[in-house]
Structure 1
């Protein structure tokens, strides 16, 4: 097993690279949340009630991510569910 030592300089360089990538994403107009919808947006898009959306979650027909207290749905997952 080979041990690799990471220095403060390595971490600072990584931080600079990461921040630069985030800046590029934000400046290009790509918003990370644009790929995901909140519950109310899904209800409006699919013209369903919050109760139906909850049933889709519980039956695992529509995958979701819970971040903090908010639930997000991938636009790709919604599209795949509609194709079934």
Structure 2
């Protein structure tokens, strides 16, 4: 099997493609075009929580999920409902 040599130009091109992909993902999120279902890793990144915290949210029923095969999916609308339900309002009379 022949060896493949990766040049700095190849890495630079890969970097630019990766940055473009990230920009596209962020712009979709900014436009409210999040995917309908997210995997655990995506939810952990979105909510900035650890795997253990996400597991606790599942176990205690805070965050609904669907398991298909061995993959756990979370409905983005359900995540938003949980976030809204747990919103803390600090009023002047508090």
**Alignment TM-score, normalising by the size of structure 1:** 0.59
- 1:79 aligns to what SS in structure 2? helix
Structure 2 unaligned runs (5+)?
1-34, 86-94
Q: Deviations over 1:39-80 (max 9, x none)?
A: 000000000001000000000010000000000000000000
Structure 1 unaligned runs (5+)?
1-33
Q: Deviations over 1:5-41 (max 9, x none)?
A: xxxxxxxxxxxxxxxxxxxxxxxxxxxxx30000000
| Structure 1 or 2: more helix by fraction | 1
Check if 1:51 corresponds to 2:62: no
Please provide the CA RMSD for this pair. Answer: 0.5
Q: How does 1:61-80 map to 2 (within 5 A)?
A: 61-80=62-81
Point out 4+ residue stretches in structure 1 off by more than 4 angstroms: none
**Alignment TM-score, normalising by the size of structure 2:** 0.53
